[in-house]
Structure formats: C-alpha cells, structure tokens
Chains A and B, each alone.
Chain A
C-alpha cells in the first residue's frame, strides 16, 4: 500500500502556506477511497458532493483569513455519529435507511472548526463487537493483512486512517472500541475521560461507559482534534463543565521524574510474549526520557471483563428498546398486531450479537437476578475503579499492552462470545472507571502492529497526550504503514 499519509499537522501547514487547497486534499482522499475501499470496506457511506462543497467553503474561509488550524482538513465520522441529511446506520439493518434530523455535537463542532467530512465509517453493529464482524455491511479488512480483523468496534475508522484514506476519523469507546482497533491497525487511538466530550447525537449503546474519541496518525493530531470536540454541552446531562486545557500547548512538557506504573497482572498468561517484549521496549524508551517505571497491582483485573459484560448489555438492552418499528428504523411487513410488530421488527432489524446482548442484558436486569448480577457488577465496578485510583496515588500514568495479541484472523473468534470479549481485558477497566486512555503503535510483531496503552487519572487528557507525543518523537512505529493490502507495497 503506497504511503500517502500526511498528518493533520502537516496538512494544516500546507493549507496555511497555500501550497495545497482543501479541495485538492479532499479530492485526494476521495480518490484513495475509490481506489482502496472496495477491498477494505472501511466506509459505509461516502459523501463526495457534501465533502467537496465543504472543502470549497473551507478554502474560501482560509482565503478570507478566517478559520483555524483544522479548517479544510478532511476526516471521516464513525457511522454511530448522527449527521443531519446523511444516513446514519450504526452498521445495522435496523437503521439502514435512517437519516438523522440533527447533527451530533461532535459533528457540529468539527464542522464549525472547518473540518471536511468525506463520509461515515464501518463498525460493529451498534458498536457491539471487537472485530467488526458484526456489521450488517460486512466486516472491514485490516490494511496490514486482509485476512485479519481491524478490531472493533471503530474498525472502519482505524482501517481508514491506517490505509491513508483520511488523516483522522472519529470513534467511540465503550469498552475499548477506539484503543483496540487502533492497536490492531497500527494507529493512534485516543479516548478521553467519560464526560469530556458530549454524547449528544452518538447512538446510545451503554450510556455510563460510552465516550467519543479519535483515531489519528499521531498523538499531536489527536490533541489538535480533541480540543474542539471536548467541553461542556447542555444537551448531554453527563458532559463535564470542567474547562478544556490547550492540549497542543502541553505536548512538549518534560516527563523527567514522572512515575509510570505497570500493572503486573497485565503480563500474566494470555499476553503474547513477543507483544510483551514490544511493550517492555517501549517502557525502556520512557526510562531513557527520565521517567521512572514502577510495578503496580490491579488485583481485580480479572473481574473487569465479567463486570463490563453485565453493565454494558444491561444498559444496551434498555437503550435499544427504543427501536420498535414505529417512529424510525426497520419495520416488519404484514403484521396485524402491535406486539408482533415490535417483536418482528426488532428480530429482523438486529443482528445476532446485538440480540445476544439484549437477551443478556434483559436477563441480568430481570426480577430475581437483578441483585445477583447487575447490582453486584456495579459494586465490583466500584472496586475496580478504587484499584485504579489507588494506583494514581503512587504514579502519574499507567502503561501496558492495549490488547493481548496483534490482529487475529477474521472468523477466528466469532463462534465463542467469551473469547471475543476477552480481547477487551486491558481496555474495559478504563471505561468502568471513566479514565482517559490512548493506544499508540509500539512495535511490529510478526508483521503486525502492537499497541502501547497509556492511562491517566480522570480528566488528565493533557498528560496522556503529552506522554504519547514524547514517545512518538523518540520512535517511528507510528509512521510504519501497512506493507501488504489491497494495492500491494
């Protein structure tokens, strides 16, 4: 695959100097999508008309001396973000023809910053999956190896950035859905703290865990685009009113003397030894930068995935009860009574994994089981959150692998839901506790990218981006591009 990957920072500089126009950058993205996406399947919807019009408007803004660093830079949205006038499918048959009457706050804010959306990326259906195989529109292929999964649920966004179709795409992360595909596709995936970015207009999956994030080529780019996305929004009742710092301004701060905690449980059985080596090498880079590496413990790590798979299906079963075939979404034909209309519309509209999670969630919330499962899981959630808080009394940042293995083969885990869920072992506790996390490329293991996950205290987005950026100044793993794929090398 040819390397044409320019970062947002680079594109922004070219635009500022007038060396390239937004229309040219946008057309280049559209051309690359036309060339490579038939094989990758990273996009569900491409919007050339809207994109070129927005690009022309961005060029006019720049010419008039208006706009900012992001004005005119192309990007894509995960198809879970509502976009007024453009289909928002959530990769489900249920919403295959749904056109949102409003824009998500994230969509609105990035458009206001002048970014040009070229379309909507593929994902696991309703973001339920870690492999992109639950999409109604077919799975995305990993640009590094078309037989492998790009991860999920933001797999289309990760693959699109890795393959250079766009320099940045939005994602959402409920249990690792930004960080895990970022690791598997060799890109940077940043999930801010719960409440940092408005959830308004993001189709709800598990509302106490859902958080928007970005897939980009560098931590610097992640800082540039997170800035306008973050901040208070009256339309999301859990959006934090805390002030948003200037993320880009904090990127170069020295980390000399800072302590990085490495949870010993992260290196237990289950982690590929070669992947572990890549993570240890990354920790050495931090040592050389003057950081101190300390072992810490997350004694309840093994409970994080089971906790997540109670809380998340419970919330999902509630959230997805809105799909009933009446006001929007798929409706079954030839039904004569209302209950059958609900049941058949939902049965036809949802895929297997979504139905499984609705069933699990319904069960753990049902009379007689609520205390044993849902209430218990919420208590264990507190336990896990307290463990993490305790770590941050000793260290400034946590580091470890993002995933237990590099990209797995498509089809390898679809038959056993628990095997699939265990992909999330290192990422879910971060969501349960609502912390900021990032995955950055830290090595190549047998030809496939490995990810280093950094996790900071609540609302320490700036420090997380700072730690990630300094690592990327010392290494070039984030510049490695897929060597195989649709168009060869």
Chain B
C-alpha cells in the first residue's frame, strides 16, 4: 500500500510523535518499504494455528502481597524534568 500524508499524520498522532511536513514523504516511503516487506506474511498458510504470544509454556505466576521494598521518592524524582512538593509538574490540563 502507499501511505498518504493523512495516514502518516494519523499514525504519528496515535504514537504521540510529531512528523514535520518535510519528513512526511520520507516516513511514507520507508513505511511503504517496511509494510511491503511484511506483507509477505499474508501468503503463509497458518491454518488453525493459535497465535503465539511468547515461547514459554507457563501460566502467569502470582506472588504473596508482601512489602519488599521501600519508596525513595526523592531519589526517584531526581530523574524528573520538573517536580514540586513531591509531585510531577506538567502543563495545566484543566482550566
């Protein structure tokens, strides 16, 4: 398939990325190439095979609900771009 400008903008929005006007054709061409390549999968005869999520034959493990570590909030927040009073600061979302 050929990706239109609208397709690229829509995918970028879903992925929370900004693609500049100038880059749209570049992304469209590369995605065309990649999707064209993975389109080969359509020809595979998968019959009634079940989808394989991962390679381990195991069920989800549960663990006892016990406290195993303590919170070091200040240390964690040292990585944050902006904090105040122990909270993460973002642009205003509610007026």
What is the interface of chain A, defined by CB distance below 8 A to chain B?
Answer: 97-99, 101, 193-195, 208, 234, 237-238, 240, 300, 302-303, 305-307, 309-310, 317, 321, 324-331, 335-344, 346-347, 350, 355-356, 358-364, 366, 372-373, 375-383, 385-386, 416-418, 421, 432-435, 458
Contacts and interface: CB of A to CB of B under 8 A. Distances in A.
Contact of B15 (A240, A309, A310, A359): A359
A359 B46 contact: no
17 contacts: A208-B53, A208-B54, A324-B16, A337-B91, A338-B91, A338-B93, A339-B16, A340-B91, A347-B19, A355-B17, A356-B27, A359-B31, A361-B15, A380-B46, A381-B52, A434-B55, A435-B55
Interface in B54-86: 54-56, 58, 60-61, 63, 72, 75-76, 78-82
Contacts of B8: 359
A432 B56 CA distance: 11
B11 A362 contact: yes
A99 B80 CA distance: 10
Interface in B1-58: 8, 11-12, 14-19, 27, 30-31, 33-35, 37-42, 44, 46, 49-56, 58
A361 B15 CA distance: 9
B88 A376 contact: no
Contact of A336 (B34, B55, B75, B91): B91
Given A324-B16, A343-B16, A359-B17, A303 B40 contact: yes
Given A356-B31, A373-B38, 7 more contacts: A309-B38, A326-B90, A331-B81, A338-B90, A338-B93, A355-B15, A360-B35
Name, among B18, B50, B78, the residue most crowded by chain A CB atoms within 10 Å (CB to CB): B18
A457 B30 CA distance: 36
A390 to B, nearest CB: 14
Contact of A346 (B17, B42, B80): B17
Contacts of B39: 306
B29 to A, nearest CB: 10
